[in-house]
Chain A
Amino acid sequence: MLKALENISAFYANPTRFMALARQVHRPLWALAIGVLAYGLYRVAYVPADYQQGDSVRIMFVHVPAAWMSLFGYSFIFIASVTALIFRHPLGHVAARAAAPVGAVFTLLALITGSLWGQPMWGTWWVWDARLTSVLVLFFIYLGYIALWQAIDEPTRAARAASILAIVGFINVPIVKFSVDWWNTLHQPASVSRLARPALHADFLYPLLIMGAGFLVLFLALTLTRMQMEVLRQRLRARARKGEPPHV
Protein backbone atom coordinates (compact mmCIF):
# COMPACT_ATOMS: atom_id res chain seq x y z
CA MET A 1 0.00 0.00 0.00
CA LEU A 2 2.68 2.46 1.11
CA LYS A 3 4.94 1.26 -1.70
CA ALA A 4 2.20 1.86 -4.24
CA LEU A 5 1.63 5.37 -2.87
CA GLU A 6 5.35 6.00 -3.13
CA ASN A 7 5.39 4.87 -6.76
CA ILE A 8 2.43 7.04 -7.66
CA SER A 9 3.93 10.08 -5.98
CA ALA A 10 7.29 9.49 -7.69
CA PHE A 11 5.54 9.14 -11.06
CA TYR A 12 3.83 12.53 -10.71
CA ALA A 13 7.00 14.25 -9.50
CA ASN A 14 7.39 15.13 -13.17
CA PRO A 15 5.34 18.34 -13.67
CA THR A 16 4.47 17.38 -17.25
CA ARG A 17 2.87 14.13 -16.09
CA PHE A 18 1.09 16.03 -13.34
CA MET A 19 -0.26 18.54 -15.85
CA ALA A 20 -1.53 15.75 -18.08
CA LEU A 21 -3.37 14.20 -15.12
CA ALA A 22 -4.65 17.59 -13.98
CA ARG A 23 -6.10 18.33 -17.42
CA GLN A 24 -8.13 15.12 -17.21
CA VAL A 25 -9.25 15.46 -13.59
CA HIS A 26 -9.91 19.17 -13.64
CA ARG A 27 -13.36 19.23 -15.27
CA PRO A 28 -14.93 16.24 -13.49
CA LEU A 29 -13.70 17.65 -10.18
CA TRP A 30 -15.33 21.02 -10.81
CA ALA A 31 -18.54 19.34 -11.99
CA LEU A 32 -18.59 17.23 -8.82
CA ALA A 33 -17.99 20.30 -6.64
CA ILE A 34 -20.82 22.26 -8.25
CA GLY A 35 -23.13 19.24 -8.20
CA VAL A 36 -22.60 18.38 -4.52
CA LEU A 37 -22.89 22.02 -3.48
CA ALA A 38 -26.08 22.49 -5.47
CA TYR A 39 -27.61 19.34 -3.94
CA GLY A 40 -26.45 20.45 -0.49
CA LEU A 41 -28.03 23.89 -0.90
CA TYR A 42 -31.24 22.27 -2.10
CA ARG A 43 -31.32 20.14 1.03
CA VAL A 44 -30.53 23.17 3.18
CA ALA A 45 -33.49 25.03 1.69
CA TYR A 46 -35.83 22.30 3.01
CA VAL A 47 -34.32 22.04 6.48
CA PRO A 48 -36.98 22.93 9.08
CA ALA A 49 -36.38 26.21 10.88
CA ASP A 50 -34.82 25.78 14.30
CA TYR A 51 -37.27 26.18 17.19
CA GLN A 52 -35.03 28.73 18.86
CA GLN A 53 -32.93 30.24 16.10
CA GLY A 54 -35.52 30.33 13.30
CA ASP A 55 -34.22 30.59 9.76
CA SER A 56 -30.88 32.05 10.79
CA VAL A 57 -29.78 28.50 11.63
CA ARG A 58 -29.23 28.05 7.88
CA ILE A 59 -26.06 30.14 8.16
CA MET A 60 -24.62 27.12 9.95
CA PHE A 61 -24.53 25.14 6.68
CA VAL A 62 -22.00 27.59 5.27
CA HIS A 63 -20.31 28.59 8.49
CA VAL A 64 -19.40 25.16 9.86
CA PRO A 65 -18.05 23.66 6.59
CA ALA A 66 -16.02 26.85 6.03
CA ALA A 67 -14.55 26.46 9.51
CA TRP A 68 -13.73 22.80 8.73
CA MET A 69 -12.03 23.86 5.52
CA SER A 70 -9.96 26.50 7.32
CA LEU A 71 -8.40 23.74 9.42
CA PHE A 72 -8.24 21.26 6.56
CA GLY A 73 -6.52 23.88 4.40
CA TYR A 74 -3.80 24.49 6.92
CA SER A 75 -3.25 20.76 7.46
CA PHE A 76 -3.04 20.40 3.66
CA ILE A 77 -0.37 23.12 3.52
CA PHE A 78 1.52 21.43 6.35
CA ILE A 79 1.51 18.02 4.67
CA ALA A 80 2.47 19.52 1.31
CA SER A 81 5.32 21.43 2.97
CA VAL A 82 6.61 18.33 4.74
CA THR A 83 6.52 16.43 1.45
CA ALA A 84 8.42 19.23 -0.21
CA LEU A 85 10.98 19.87 2.51
CA ILE A 86 11.72 16.33 3.65
CA PHE A 87 10.94 14.14 0.64
CA ARG A 88 11.93 16.89 -1.82
CA HIS A 89 8.82 16.31 -3.88
CA PRO A 90 8.78 19.14 -6.43
CA LEU A 91 5.00 19.52 -6.39
CA GLY A 92 4.85 19.99 -2.62
CA HIS A 93 5.72 23.68 -2.72
CA VAL A 94 3.35 24.20 -5.63
CA ALA A 95 0.49 22.55 -3.75
CA ALA A 96 1.20 24.44 -0.52
CA ARG A 97 1.38 27.78 -2.29
CA ALA A 98 -1.78 27.07 -4.29
CA ALA A 99 -3.80 26.03 -1.23
CA ALA A 100 -2.89 29.00 0.98
CA PRO A 101 -5.19 31.70 -0.47
CA VAL A 102 -8.01 29.14 -0.79
CA GLY A 103 -7.69 28.21 2.88
CA ALA A 104 -7.44 31.87 3.86
CA VAL A 105 -10.66 32.72 2.02
CA PHE A 106 -12.50 29.82 3.69
CA THR A 107 -11.21 31.08 7.05
CA LEU A 108 -12.45 34.58 6.26
CA LEU A 109 -15.78 33.12 5.17
CA ALA A 110 -16.06 31.27 8.49
CA LEU A 111 -15.33 34.52 10.35
CA ILE A 112 -17.82 36.58 8.34
CA THR A 113 -20.64 34.03 8.49
CA GLY A 114 -19.90 33.55 12.20
CA SER A 115 -20.26 37.27 12.70
CA LEU A 116 -23.52 37.37 10.70
CA TRP A 117 -24.84 34.47 12.75
CA GLY A 118 -23.68 35.96 16.03
CA GLN A 119 -25.54 39.22 15.47
CA PRO A 120 -29.07 37.78 15.84
CA MET A 121 -28.01 35.06 18.31
CA TRP A 122 -25.72 36.87 20.73
CA GLY A 123 -26.82 40.42 19.86
CA THR A 124 -23.37 41.51 18.76
CA TRP A 125 -21.24 41.20 15.64
CA TRP A 126 -18.18 40.04 17.45
CA VAL A 127 -17.43 38.45 20.79
CA TRP A 128 -13.97 37.55 22.03
CA ASP A 129 -15.05 33.99 22.38
CA ALA A 130 -12.49 31.20 22.30
CA ARG A 131 -13.31 29.70 18.93
CA LEU A 132 -13.82 32.99 17.12
CA THR A 133 -10.54 34.23 18.49
CA SER A 134 -8.55 31.14 17.55
CA VAL A 135 -10.00 31.21 14.02
CA LEU A 136 -9.01 34.88 13.80
CA VAL A 137 -5.46 33.97 14.84
CA LEU A 138 -5.48 31.16 12.26
CA PHE A 139 -6.44 33.77 9.65
CA PHE A 140 -3.40 35.83 10.63
CA ILE A 141 -1.23 32.72 10.35
CA TYR A 142 -2.52 32.29 6.79
CA LEU A 143 -1.83 35.96 6.03
CA GLY A 144 1.72 35.72 7.34
CA TYR A 145 2.31 32.60 5.25
CA ILE A 146 0.99 34.23 2.06
CA ALA A 147 2.88 37.46 2.75
CA LEU A 148 6.13 35.50 3.16
CA TRP A 149 5.64 33.84 -0.25
CA GLN A 150 5.04 37.22 -1.83
CA ALA A 151 7.85 39.08 -0.09
CA ILE A 152 10.76 36.86 -1.12
CA ASP A 153 11.56 37.27 -4.82
CA GLU A 154 13.78 34.26 -5.36
CA PRO A 155 11.43 31.27 -5.82
CA THR A 156 13.43 28.44 -4.20
CA ARG A 157 14.33 30.61 -1.23
CA ALA A 158 10.69 31.68 -0.81
CA ALA A 159 9.60 28.05 -1.00
CA ARG A 160 11.99 26.90 1.72
CA ALA A 161 11.14 29.79 4.05
CA ALA A 162 7.42 29.26 3.54
CA SER A 163 7.63 25.53 4.27
CA ILE A 164 9.58 26.15 7.48
CA LEU A 165 6.89 28.62 8.55
CA ALA A 166 4.13 26.17 7.63
CA ILE A 167 5.66 23.45 9.79
CA VAL A 168 6.42 25.65 12.81
CA GLY A 169 3.01 27.29 12.48
CA PHE A 170 1.31 23.89 12.43
CA ILE A 171 2.85 23.10 15.82
CA ASN A 172 1.63 26.48 17.02
CA VAL A 173 -2.02 26.01 15.99
CA PRO A 174 -3.04 23.53 18.74
CA ILE A 175 -1.12 25.54 21.35
CA VAL A 176 -3.03 28.67 20.38
CA LYS A 177 -6.24 26.66 20.33
CA PHE A 178 -5.81 25.27 23.84
CA SER A 179 -4.60 28.49 25.38
CA VAL A 180 -7.43 30.48 23.84
CA ASP A 181 -9.94 27.82 24.93
CA TRP A 182 -8.66 28.09 28.42
CA TRP A 183 -8.78 31.90 28.19
CA ASN A 184 -12.44 32.17 27.34
CA THR A 185 -15.20 29.80 26.38
CA LEU A 186 -18.74 30.80 25.50
CA HIS A 187 -19.19 29.00 22.18
CA GLN A 188 -21.11 25.75 22.22
CA PRO A 189 -18.83 22.70 22.32
CA ALA A 190 -18.27 20.90 19.01
CA SER A 191 -21.46 18.97 18.33
CA VAL A 192 -20.56 16.86 15.31
CA SER A 193 -17.32 15.35 16.56
CA ARG A 194 -19.20 12.86 18.75
CA LEU A 195 -19.87 10.57 15.83
CA ALA A 196 -21.61 7.88 17.86
CA ARG A 197 -24.43 10.12 19.01
CA PRO A 198 -24.18 13.55 17.47
CA ALA A 199 -25.97 16.32 19.36
CA LEU A 200 -27.33 17.53 16.03
CA HIS A 201 -30.64 16.18 14.77
CA ALA A 202 -30.43 14.10 11.55
CA ASP A 203 -32.49 16.72 9.69
CA PHE A 204 -29.61 19.11 10.25
CA LEU A 205 -26.75 16.65 10.26
CA TYR A 206 -27.08 15.17 6.75
CA PRO A 207 -27.37 18.49 4.88
CA LEU A 208 -24.41 19.70 6.94
CA LEU A 209 -22.31 16.69 5.98
CA ILE A 210 -23.30 17.09 2.31
CA MET A 211 -22.29 20.74 2.42
CA GLY A 212 -19.06 19.72 4.12
CA ALA A 213 -18.33 17.26 1.31
CA GLY A 214 -19.19 19.96 -1.26
CA PHE A 215 -16.81 22.43 0.37
CA LEU A 216 -14.09 19.78 0.45
CA VAL A 217 -14.41 19.05 -3.27
CA LEU A 218 -14.58 22.79 -3.98
CA PHE A 219 -11.38 23.26 -2.01
CA LEU A 220 -9.65 20.51 -4.00
CA ALA A 221 -10.92 21.88 -7.32
CA LEU A 222 -9.77 25.43 -6.53
CA THR A 223 -6.40 24.15 -5.34
CA LEU A 224 -5.93 22.01 -8.44
CA THR A 225 -6.71 24.95 -10.73
CA ARG A 226 -4.28 27.12 -8.81
CA MET A 227 -1.62 24.40 -8.97
CA GLN A 228 -1.99 24.29 -12.76
CA MET A 229 -1.61 28.07 -12.83
CA GLU A 230 1.49 27.85 -10.66
CA VAL A 231 3.16 25.26 -12.88
CA LEU A 232 2.36 27.37 -15.96
CA ARG A 233 3.75 30.45 -14.22
CA GLN A 234 6.99 28.59 -13.49
CA ARG A 235 7.26 27.57 -17.14
CA LEU A 236 6.70 31.15 -18.24
CA ARG A 237 9.41 32.30 -15.90
CA ALA A 238 11.79 29.66 -17.23
CA ARG A 239 11.03 30.72 -20.80
CA ALA A 240 11.55 34.38 -19.95
CA ARG A 241 14.96 33.51 -18.49
CA LYS A 242 15.96 31.81 -21.73
CA GLY A 243 14.63 34.72 -23.75
CA GLU A 244 12.00 32.61 -25.53
CA PRO A 245 8.59 34.02 -26.49
CA PRO A 246 6.01 33.44 -23.74
CA HIS A 247 3.46 31.27 -25.63
CA VAL A 248 3.02 27.81 -24.13
Chain B
Amino acid sequence: MRIFAAICSQHMHLSWRSGQTMLAVSFLFIAITLLPFGLGPELNLLRALAPGLLWVVLAISLLTGLERLFQADYEDGTLDRLLLVPLAFEAVVLAKLLGHYLALVLPLILAVPLAGLLLNIEAARLPVLLAAMLCGSPALVLLGGIGASLAVSVRRGGLLTVLIAMPFYVPVLIFGAAAARAGLETGVAVGPYLGILAALSAASLLLAPFAIAAALRSALR
Protein backbone atom coordinates (compact mmCIF):
# COMPACT_ATOMS: atom_id res chain seq x y z
CA MET B 1 0.00 0.00 0.00
CA ARG B 2 2.88 2.36 0.80
CA ILE B 3 4.45 1.59 -2.55
CA PHE B 4 1.11 2.20 -4.27
CA ALA B 5 0.78 5.60 -2.59
CA ALA B 6 4.38 6.47 -3.42
CA ILE B 7 4.01 5.72 -7.13
CA CYS B 8 0.73 7.61 -7.23
CA SER B 9 2.06 10.70 -5.49
CA GLN B 10 5.27 10.67 -7.54
CA HIS B 11 3.22 10.75 -10.73
CA MET B 12 1.15 13.62 -9.32
CA HIS B 13 4.20 15.63 -8.30
CA LEU B 14 5.81 15.21 -11.69
CA SER B 15 2.63 16.34 -13.44
CA TRP B 16 2.39 19.39 -11.22
CA ARG B 17 6.03 20.33 -11.40
CA SER B 18 6.37 19.97 -15.13
CA GLY B 19 3.38 22.24 -15.58
CA GLN B 20 1.22 19.57 -17.20
CA THR B 21 -1.76 20.36 -15.01
CA MET B 22 -1.60 24.04 -15.89
CA LEU B 23 -1.20 23.21 -19.57
CA ALA B 24 -4.19 20.87 -19.61
CA VAL B 25 -6.45 23.39 -17.87
CA SER B 26 -5.28 26.14 -20.24
CA PHE B 27 -6.02 23.84 -23.17
CA LEU B 28 -9.58 23.39 -21.91
CA PHE B 29 -10.09 27.15 -21.70
CA ILE B 30 -8.49 27.80 -25.09
CA ALA B 31 -10.83 25.26 -26.68
CA ILE B 32 -13.80 26.89 -24.92
CA THR B 33 -12.64 30.31 -26.13
CA LEU B 34 -12.42 29.11 -29.71
CA LEU B 35 -15.98 27.77 -29.70
CA PRO B 36 -17.81 31.14 -29.88
CA PHE B 37 -15.59 32.14 -32.81
CA GLY B 38 -16.80 29.09 -34.66
CA LEU B 39 -20.42 29.13 -33.51
CA GLY B 40 -21.06 32.85 -33.17
CA PRO B 41 -21.48 34.85 -29.94
CA GLU B 42 -25.23 34.13 -29.63
CA LEU B 43 -25.63 33.38 -25.90
CA ASN B 44 -28.82 31.35 -26.22
CA LEU B 45 -27.24 29.04 -28.78
CA LEU B 46 -24.14 28.57 -26.62
CA ARG B 47 -26.32 27.91 -23.59
CA ALA B 48 -28.26 25.21 -25.43
CA LEU B 49 -25.09 23.51 -26.65
CA ALA B 50 -23.02 24.04 -23.49
CA PRO B 51 -23.36 20.59 -21.79
CA GLY B 52 -22.45 18.70 -24.96
CA LEU B 53 -19.63 21.08 -25.81
CA LEU B 54 -18.18 20.81 -22.31
CA TRP B 55 -18.20 17.00 -22.53
CA VAL B 56 -16.48 17.03 -25.92
CA VAL B 57 -13.88 19.55 -24.78
CA LEU B 58 -13.22 17.55 -21.61
CA ALA B 59 -12.76 14.37 -23.65
CA ILE B 60 -10.36 16.07 -26.08
CA SER B 61 -8.38 17.61 -23.23
CA LEU B 62 -8.06 14.15 -21.69
CA LEU B 63 -7.00 12.60 -24.99
CA THR B 64 -4.23 15.15 -25.49
CA GLY B 65 -2.92 14.42 -22.01
CA LEU B 66 -2.77 10.65 -22.48
CA GLU B 67 0.58 10.66 -24.22
CA ARG B 68 2.27 11.71 -20.98
CA LEU B 69 0.81 8.83 -19.02
CA PHE B 70 3.56 6.28 -19.66
CA GLN B 71 5.76 7.65 -22.43
CA ALA B 72 8.28 9.63 -20.34
CA ASP B 73 8.69 6.73 -17.92
CA TYR B 74 9.15 4.35 -20.82
CA GLU B 75 11.80 6.47 -22.47
CA ASP B 76 13.93 7.15 -19.38
CA GLY B 77 13.72 3.57 -18.13
CA THR B 78 11.58 4.22 -15.05
CA LEU B 79 9.02 1.73 -16.32
CA ASP B 80 11.63 -1.05 -16.39
CA ARG B 81 12.31 -0.33 -12.72
CA LEU B 82 8.62 -0.32 -11.89
CA LEU B 83 8.40 -3.90 -13.21
CA LEU B 84 10.71 -4.93 -10.37
CA VAL B 85 8.66 -3.28 -7.63
CA PRO B 86 7.30 -5.88 -5.16
CA LEU B 87 3.73 -5.19 -6.24
CA ALA B 88 1.61 -6.67 -9.02
CA PHE B 89 2.33 -4.69 -12.17
CA GLU B 90 -1.42 -4.18 -12.59
CA ALA B 91 -1.43 -2.36 -9.24
CA VAL B 92 1.52 -0.22 -10.34
CA VAL B 93 -0.46 0.70 -13.45
CA LEU B 94 -3.49 1.52 -11.32
CA ALA B 95 -1.35 3.76 -9.08
CA LYS B 96 -0.09 5.71 -12.07
CA LEU B 97 -3.62 6.05 -13.45
CA LEU B 98 -4.84 7.30 -10.09
CA GLY B 99 -2.00 9.81 -10.00
CA HIS B 100 -2.89 10.95 -13.51
CA TYR B 101 -6.53 11.26 -12.51
CA LEU B 102 -5.81 13.34 -9.43
CA ALA B 103 -3.22 15.55 -11.09
CA LEU B 104 -4.84 16.16 -14.47
CA VAL B 105 -8.44 15.05 -14.67
CA LEU B 106 -9.79 16.35 -11.38
CA PRO B 107 -8.46 19.89 -12.05
CA LEU B 108 -10.09 19.75 -15.49
CA ILE B 109 -13.44 18.78 -13.99
CA LEU B 110 -13.10 21.49 -11.36
CA ALA B 111 -12.48 23.99 -14.18
CA VAL B 112 -15.70 22.97 -15.92
CA PRO B 113 -18.06 25.24 -13.90
CA LEU B 114 -15.95 28.25 -14.83
CA ALA B 115 -15.82 27.17 -18.45
CA GLY B 116 -19.60 26.63 -18.29
CA LEU B 117 -19.99 30.20 -17.10
CA LEU B 118 -18.28 31.39 -20.27
CA LEU B 119 -20.82 29.42 -22.30
CA ASN B 120 -23.69 30.94 -20.31
CA ILE B 121 -24.81 27.60 -18.84
CA GLU B 122 -27.55 27.73 -16.20
CA ALA B 123 -26.20 27.27 -12.68
CA ALA B 124 -28.94 24.70 -12.03
CA ARG B 125 -27.43 22.43 -14.65
CA LEU B 126 -23.97 22.36 -13.19
CA PRO B 127 -24.41 19.88 -10.32
CA VAL B 128 -25.76 17.19 -12.65
CA LEU B 129 -23.06 17.89 -15.24
CA LEU B 130 -20.35 17.64 -12.61
CA ALA B 131 -21.84 14.46 -11.14
CA ALA B 132 -21.94 12.90 -14.62
CA MET B 133 -18.33 13.89 -15.25
CA LEU B 134 -17.21 12.48 -11.92
CA CYS B 135 -18.99 9.19 -12.68
CA GLY B 136 -17.75 8.94 -16.26
CA SER B 137 -14.23 10.34 -16.13
CA PRO B 138 -12.61 7.27 -14.48
CA ALA B 139 -13.70 5.27 -17.54
CA LEU B 140 -12.17 7.91 -19.82
CA VAL B 141 -8.82 7.71 -18.03
CA LEU B 142 -8.79 3.90 -17.79
CA LEU B 143 -9.77 3.36 -21.43
CA GLY B 144 -7.45 6.12 -22.60
CA GLY B 145 -4.70 4.36 -20.69
CA ILE B 146 -5.15 1.35 -22.96
CA GLY B 147 -4.43 3.53 -25.99
CA ALA B 148 -1.47 5.18 -24.25
CA SER B 149 0.06 1.85 -23.24
CA LEU B 150 -0.30 0.29 -26.70
CA ALA B 151 1.38 3.26 -28.37
CA VAL B 152 4.01 3.67 -25.67
CA SER B 153 6.94 2.44 -27.75
CA VAL B 154 6.05 4.70 -30.67
CA ARG B 155 7.92 7.98 -30.76
CA ARG B 156 5.53 10.91 -30.78
CA GLY B 157 2.67 8.46 -30.55
CA GLY B 158 0.19 11.11 -29.43
CA LEU B 159 -2.03 10.99 -32.49
CA LEU B 160 -1.92 7.19 -32.57
CA THR B 161 -3.04 7.15 -28.94
CA VAL B 162 -5.97 9.42 -29.80
CA LEU B 163 -6.98 7.26 -32.77
CA ILE B 164 -6.90 4.09 -30.67
CA ALA B 165 -8.70 5.57 -27.65
CA MET B 166 -11.41 7.51 -29.50
CA PRO B 167 -13.79 4.59 -30.21
CA PHE B 168 -13.71 3.68 -26.52
CA TYR B 169 -14.90 7.16 -25.59
CA VAL B 170 -18.14 6.96 -27.59
CA PRO B 171 -20.36 5.24 -24.97
CA VAL B 172 -19.15 7.48 -22.14
CA LEU B 173 -19.81 10.62 -24.19
CA ILE B 174 -23.26 9.43 -25.20
CA PHE B 175 -24.44 8.75 -21.67
CA GLY B 176 -22.54 11.69 -20.22
CA ALA B 177 -24.23 14.14 -22.56
CA ALA B 178 -27.58 12.40 -22.01
CA ALA B 179 -27.24 12.85 -18.25
CA ALA B 180 -26.39 16.51 -18.70
CA ARG B 181 -29.42 16.97 -20.95
CA ALA B 182 -31.73 15.13 -18.58
CA GLY B 183 -30.49 17.38 -15.78
CA LEU B 184 -32.38 20.31 -17.21
CA GLU B 185 -35.67 18.76 -18.22
CA THR B 186 -37.81 18.33 -15.15
CA GLY B 187 -39.41 14.94 -14.80
CA VAL B 188 -36.53 13.05 -16.43
CA ALA B 189 -34.61 11.01 -13.91
CA VAL B 190 -30.85 11.55 -13.95
CA GLY B 191 -30.06 8.58 -11.75
CA PRO B 192 -30.07 5.87 -14.42
CA TYR B 193 -27.62 7.80 -16.60
CA LEU B 194 -25.26 8.32 -13.70
CA GLY B 195 -25.63 4.62 -12.94
CA ILE B 196 -24.66 3.65 -16.49
CA LEU B 197 -21.67 5.98 -16.39
CA ALA B 198 -20.56 4.51 -13.09
CA ALA B 199 -21.06 1.01 -14.52
CA LEU B 200 -18.85 1.89 -17.51
CA SER B 201 -16.20 3.14 -15.09
CA ALA B 202 -16.45 0.01 -12.96
CA ALA B 203 -16.21 -2.28 -15.98
CA SER B 204 -13.15 -0.39 -17.24
CA LEU B 205 -11.63 -0.64 -13.79
CA LEU B 206 -11.91 -4.42 -14.02
CA LEU B 207 -10.58 -4.71 -17.55
CA ALA B 208 -8.19 -1.85 -18.28
CA PRO B 209 -5.39 -2.46 -15.72
CA PHE B 210 -4.85 -5.97 -17.12
CA ALA B 211 -4.84 -4.81 -20.73
CA ILE B 212 -2.53 -1.88 -19.92
CA ALA B 213 -0.13 -4.04 -17.92
CA ALA B 214 -0.01 -6.63 -20.70
CA ALA B 215 0.64 -3.94 -23.32
CA LEU B 216 3.39 -2.30 -21.26
CA ARG B 217 5.03 -5.67 -20.51
CA SER B 218 5.19 -6.52 -24.19
CA ALA B 219 6.64 -3.08 -24.98
CA LEU B 220 9.32 -3.52 -22.31
CA ARG B 221 10.35 -6.97 -23.41
How many chain B residues touch A (CB < 8 A): the figure is: 26
Report A-chain residues with C-beta under 8 Å of the C-beta of B64. Answer: none
Report B-chain residues with C-beta under 8 Å of the C-beta of A148. Answer: 150-151, 160, 164
Asked whether, in the complex, the Cβ of B163 is within 8 Å of the Cβ of A160, the reply is no
Asked whether, in the complex, the Cβ of A144 is within 8 Å of the Cβ of B174, the reply is no
Contacting A at CB under 8 A, from B182-206, are: 200
- Quick one: CB contact mask for A172-200 with B, threshold 8 Å, 1 for yes? 10011001101100000000000000000
User: Which of B174, B215, B219 is A179 in contact with, Cβ under 8 Å?
Assistant: B174
Decide: A176 near B167, CB < 8 A? Known: A157-B219, A161-B218, A183-B174: yes
Which of A36-44, A117-125, A163-171, A205-213 forms part of the interface with chain B? A163-171
Report B-chain residues with C-beta under 8 Å of the C-beta of A175. Answer: 171, 200
Determine whether B157 belongs to the interface, using a CB cutoff of 8 Å to chain A.
Answer: yes
Determine whether A143 belongs to the interface, using a CB cutoff of 8 Å to chain B.
Answer: yes
- Quick one: CB contact mask for B129-164 with A, threshold 8 Å, 1 for yes? 000000000000000001100110110010010011
Contacting A at CB under 8 A, from B91-109, are: none
Report A-chain residues with C-beta under 8 Å of the C-beta of B219. Answer: 157, 161
User: Which of A144, A161, A180 is B163 in contact with, Cβ under 8 Å?
Assistant: A144
Asked whether, in the complex, the Cβ of A157 is within 8 Å of the Cβ of B167, the reply is no
Residues in B lying within 8 Å of A, measured CB to CB:
146-147, 150-151, 153-154, 157, 160, 163-164, 166-168, 170-171, 174-175, 178, 200, 207, 211, 214-215, 218-219, 221
User: Which of A168, A171, A176 is B170 in contact with, Cβ under 8 Å?
Assistant: A176
Residue of B nearest to A162 (CB): B150
Determine whether A137 belongs to the interface, using a CB cutoff of 8 Å to chain B.
Answer: yes
User: Which of B167, B171, B178, B207 is A144 in contact with, Cβ under 8 Å?
Assistant: B167
Residue of B nearest to A161 (CB): B150
Report A-chain residues with C-beta under 8 Å of the C-beta of B168. Answer: 172
Report B-chain residues with C-beta under 8 Å of the C-beta of A141. Answer: 167
Closest chain-B Cβ to A4's Cβ sits at a distance in Å of 31
Report B-chain residues with C-beta under 8 Å of the C-beta of A151. Answer: 151, 154, 157, 160
Asked whether, in the complex, the Cβ of B171 is within 8 Å of the Cβ of A179, the reply is yes
Asked whether, in the complex, the Cβ of A164 is within 8 Å of the Cβ of B150, the reply is yes
Asked whether, in the complex, the Cβ of A147 is within 8 Å of the Cβ of B170, the reply is no
Asked whether, in the complex, the Cβ of B163 is within 8 Å of the Cβ of A140, the reply is yes
User: Which range contains the number of A residues in contact with the other chain?
Assistant: 20 to 34
Residue of B nearest to A176 (CB): B170
Closest chain-B Cβ to A147's Cβ sits at a distance in Å of 6
Asked whether, in the complex, the Cβ of B207 is within 8 Å of the Cβ of A180, the reply is no
Cα-based distance from A164 to B157 in the complex (angstroms): 17
- Quick one: CB contact mask for A122-155 with B, threshold 8 Å, 1 for yes? 0000000000000001101101100110011010
Asked whether, in the complex, the Cβ of A168 is within 8 Å of the Cβ of B167, the reply is no
Report B-chain residues with C-beta under 8 Å of the C-beta of A138. Answer: 167
Closest chain-B Cβ to A229's Cβ sits at a distance in Å of 24
Decide: A179 near B170, CB < 8 A? Known: A160-B218, A164-B150, A164-B214: yes
Asked whether, in the complex, the Cβ of A144 is within 8 Å of the Cβ of B211, the reply is no
Asked whether, in the complex, the Cβ of A164 is within 8 Å of the Cβ of B211, the reply is yes
**Besides the contacts A151-B154, A167-B211, A176-B171, what 17 more A-B pairs have beta carbons closer than 8 Å?**
A137-B170, A140-B166, A140-B167, A143-B163, A148-B150, A151-B157, A152-B154, A157-B221, A164-B150, A164-B211, A164-B215, A164-B218, A165-B146, A168-B207, A169-B167, A176-B170, A183-B174
Cα-based distance from A160 to B218 in the complex (angstroms): 7
Asked whether, in the complex, the Cβ of B175 is within 8 Å of the Cβ of A157, the reply is no
User: Which of A137, A143, A144, A152 is B153 in contact with, Cβ under 8 Å?
Assistant: A152
Cα-based distance from A144 to B215 in the complex (angstroms): 15
Closest chain-B Cβ to A134's Cβ sits at a distance in Å of 8
Q: List 27 A-B contacts (CB under 8 A).
A: A137-B170, A140-B166, A144-B160, A144-B167, A147-B160, A148-B150, A151-B154, A152-B153, A160-B214, A161-B150, A164-B214, A164-B218, A168-B146, A168-B207, A168-B211, A169-B167, A171-B207, A172-B167, A175-B171, A175-B200, A176-B167, A179-B170, A179-B171, A179-B175, A180-B174, A183-B174, A183-B178
Cα-based distance from A176 to B147 in the complex (angstroms): 17
